[in-house]
Structure 1
Amino acid sequence: MKNNRKLFDMKKIKLIIFICVFLTTVSGYTQYNLKSEYNNIQLSYSKTTSILFPYAVKSLDIGSRDVLVQKAKGVENILLLKAGKQNFLQTNLTVVTSDGKLYSFILNFDDLCPTLSIDAGLRNTDDKQLLFSMENENQKEIKDYAMLALSKKNKVSGLNSRRSEIVMKVDGIFIHQDVMYFRVFLGNDSKINYDVDQLRFFIRDQRKSKRTASQEIEIMPLFNTGDFSRISDNSKITAVFALPKFTIPEKKKFTMQVFEKNGGRHLELNIKNRNLVNLGILGNL
């Protein structure tokens, strides 16, 4: 009788162990599927996708230039993504945050059902927090120095780009403390209004091998003095863009891009380290 009871207890223990292992396996598989689904992002050409991280974004690497990515203005832990090209090939995005964590995402094109927002920390709704940039505290001072850079006589030459009677050039680069000021001229010599979709600033590789990923670091303006949303026919606009101080690493370049809304007159202007040697110094106001 005792032997039968002991045998029954052993079978019972084995059954419990089996159930625990089974539940653990199923749980792990479900988490994997959720994680896999969460890491796949569908991007649209006409809608913007936002990713909220628990900590500030320190660096990012994107596998294709057909995807546009930038930090939300004035916020350190939100990335905004959009397809820069219809039906782009599947690519990836890698992000490192200030707590040392690495996030990887697979990006696909889906103009009908894009992913609109993701919480990369998968936190409770009431725990979400925006990490605002400290630069906002100095907004008035930055504005005053931007206006000063707008009127300065110091000029640089040779930094221009032209396409289909649209011209973009940088004719002044200045610095004060930890902010650089770029005076940008945009002219429209055509008879068709030029509506600006995006004006981007970023550091990227000088040359891109087909076998390697392209790394682009978006630099978000802290302030700008003018409205670049439209340049009417046969007109021009000059404005100053204030950017956080930066240097250009070896084999990299600083690029400015302007995209025409619903058009193809896109412009790109590249600046190298040698163009930043003789910066104009903005003295005290």
Structure 2
Amino acid sequence: MRKCVWMIVCMIVFLSGQWAQAQNLITEIRAKVIPMNLEITTQKTTNLIFPYPVKSVDRGSAEVLVQKAKGVENILQLKAASDTLKETNLTVVTADGTLYSFIIRFLASPAQLNFSLGKVIAQTPWAIFAAGDNNEAKINDLATQLSHKKRIVSSLRTWNNAIGLRCNGIYVKDDILYFQMELENKSAINYTVDQLRFYIQDLKRAKRTASQQVQMQPMEITGNATVIGSNSVQNIVVAIPKFTIPDQKVFMVEMLEKDGGRNLLLRIRNSYVIRANVL
């Protein structure tokens, strides 16, 4: 009898141990992040919509082109750099601490381009905008209006081989400076803009002394700042967070031609900036 009881006790202990191991295995499996298969292509954009802002992105290959949608925190846009993309992976971490894993493959024509990940609340907007970006439409609208205004500044201009760069006006509203720029091409050859840069640097640079440039990142550039057609004039408006220029420094607008040498450099002194027209 005692032997029988002892065998039952041993069996219970054994089964209890097996159950504990099974529970641990289930917990371990649940803790694993199972990658999601994703096909991308070169000519179409794949959109990944996350429930929280994206905080970290890691690509297994540089052949996977990834960027956040402009002004949006929770949407990633993917493309393949070429049709020779080999299978790779993508890892994304969002603000709530969730890790998302993807196996990326090339497919010329993916069946699906938009993926909503995590919980989706009915009637909730898909996009989560960065702080302050909800005014982007207003900035764009104001910049478009300013592009049609008459010139109020006449002395800020520069030319190089029939290419002209002119600042027609400087405006300010809600701590944003708006530079109304005119791009003119009096030649028979189109001008393709390679770079359009804005920065502050020393007014006079001593020989053998490096000049430090402070880059000014535009919030918005409204208008065509890519190509200036032959014998044409076009206006753009550049919106930049407000600033003033320290003594002995100057604000520079630099426009470089792609595969060419018709480069332009426009200097704007602080006296023009502080007299910006209030809107």
Q: TM-score range by the shorter chain?
A: 0.5 to 0.7
- How does 1:247-266 map onto structure 2 within 5 Å? none
Q: CA 1:167–1:85 in 2, change beyond 3 Å: closer, same or farther?
A: farther
Residues 96, 103 of structure 1: 8 Å contact kept: yes
Residues 174, 280 of structure 1: 8 Å contact kept: no
Q: CA 1:86–1:17 in 2, change beyond 3 Å: closer, same or farther?
A: closer
Residues 169, 180 of structure 2: 8 Å contact kept: yes
- How does 1:39-58 map onto structure 2 within 5 Å? 44-55=41-52
The residue number in structure 1 matching 2:10 is: 7
Q: TM-score, normalised by structure 2?
A: 0.53
Alpha-carbon deviation of 1:11?
1.4
Which stretches in structure 1 are left out of the alignment for 5+ residues?
204-215, 249-253
What SS does the corresponding residue of 1:14 show, helix, strand or coil? helix
Alpha-carbon deviation of 1:283?
2.7
Question: Are 2:278 and 1:284 aligned?
Answer: yes
The residue number in structure 2 matching 1:211 is: none
The residue number in structure 2 matching 1:129 is: 126
CA distance in 2, matches of 1:270, 1:193: 12
Residues 244, 273 of structure 2: 8 Å contact kept: no
Question: Are 2:115 and 1:112 aligned?
Answer: no
CA distance in 1, matches of 2:165, 2:83: 29
Q: CA 1:102–1:244 in 2, change beyond 3 Å: closer, same or farther?
A: farther
Alpha-carbon deviation of 1:102?
9.7
Residues 228, 234 of structure 2: 8 Å contact kept: yes
The residue number in structure 2 matching 1:174 is: 170
Q: CA 1:156–1:118 in 2, change beyond 3 Å: closer, same or farther?
A: farther
Q: CA 1:6–1:111 in 2, change beyond 3 Å: closer, same or farther?
A: closer
Q: Deviations over 1:68-92 (max 9, x none)?
A: 846436x554454556888799999
CA distance in 1, matches of 2:242, 2:44: 31
Report % sequence identity. Answer: 20
The residue number in structure 2 matching 1:153 is: 153
Residues 201, 220 of structure 1: 8 Å contact kept: no
The residue number in structure 1 matching 2:239 is: 242
CA RMSD of aligned residues (A): 6.2
CA radius of gyration, larger in: 2
What SS does the corresponding residue of 1:151 show, helix, strand or coil? coil
How many residue pairs get aligned? The number is 245
Alpha-carbon deviation of 1:6?
0.8
Residue identity matched to 1:72: K
Which stretches in structure 2 are left out of the alignment for 5+ residues?
200-214, 246-251
